[in-house]
Amino acid sequence: MGGHGEFHTVKLDPAAERWNHMREHTYQHFKMTRPISNKIIAFGLVIPAGIFTLAKYTDEKWDWIGARKGESTTQRGTFHRSQVSDESEE
C-alpha cells in the first residue's frame, strides 16, 4: 500500500547515485594536502587582510558628497570649508 516497496517511478542512475553519495559525505573523505592548505591560507587570511588594508588606507580619503565643481575630492592636504569660513570672519 502506498508505494513503499522497490517500485521507483524514476530510473536511478548508478553514477549519479555515487556522485550524490560522495557529495553528501565529503567530510568523511577529506584529506588536508598542501594545495588545499594553500587555498585555505589564501582565501582565509591573505585576501581578507588585503581587503582590510585597502579599506583602512582609503578610509575617509575621498569626500564625494561635498565637492563642488573645481574642488578636489581628497580630504588630505586640503582646506575644509569650515577653516576657510573661520578665516574670513576674523
Domain positions in the chain:
62-90
pTM: 0.47
pLDDT at 10: 80
Q: Which uninterrupted H or E stretch holds 87?
A: helix 81-89
- Report how far Cα 84 is from the mean position of its chain's Cα atoms: 41
pLDDT at 47: 94
Taking only the tens place, the pLDDT of each residue in 36-70 is: 999 999 999 999 999 999 988 887 776 667 667 77
pLDDT at 60: 73
With cut-offs at 50, 70 and 90, classify the pLDDT of residue 11.
Answer: confident
Task: Yes or no: say if 22 and 29 are a contact pair by the CB < 8 Å rule.
Answer: yes
Nearest to 68 by CA among 81, 59, 86, 77: 81
Asked if residue 2 has pLDDT above 90, the reply is no
